[in-house]
Amino acid sequence: MKILFTGGVKSGKSHHAERRMLDLAQGQKPVYLATTELLDPEMEKRISEHRHRRSEKFKTIEEPLFLTEALSQTDAPILVECMTMWLNNALHHQLPESKIIEEIETLLSLKNELVFVLNEVGLGIIPDNSLSRKFVDLSGRIAQKLAEACDEVNWCVAGISVKIK
């Protein structure tokens, strides 16, 4: 089973995705693939809060770019948190768009149970610079690709998760 949780920043996506993964894992210890790079004190605080919340319930792998490579040795269920930060990292490290799409397709081909977290970033205005437009456009394409491939898609808002597929 493949599941996507999407919504805005601080909408409850991570909390709902973690709970759903623990239910899906059925007693098996799932992998928590954390993609956020530690770049500043504010991000350090966010990462620390996530680490504390998931505690020993998950086996954590921290990998900002090469997700499928980091997962190559596991058959456990996997929570990928978060695809939006991974895309940010990929653009920051100037991965070509073809490699970004290839990584998504390879992730989706894994036989593991997968839960993805992705921020919905396309509800605002069109950004005024090309890098931001590229980020929003790619994020939207990734969201569509994940939603199409996933068995279940959930929209999160104000801490509430609504199943939309």
The CA–CA distances, whole Å, from 12 to 6, 73, 116, 135 equal 9, 30, 13, 22
Active site residues: 50
* Contact present, 96 and 50 (Cβ < 8 Å): no
Secondary structure of residue 40 in the 3-state scheme: coil
Strands (E), the chain: 2-7, 31-34, 59-62, 78-81, 114-119, 152-157, 160-163
Residue 24: burial class (beta carbons within 10 Å; 0-12, 13-18, 19+): middle
Pick from 4, 82, 75, 12: which is nearest to 43 by CA?
82
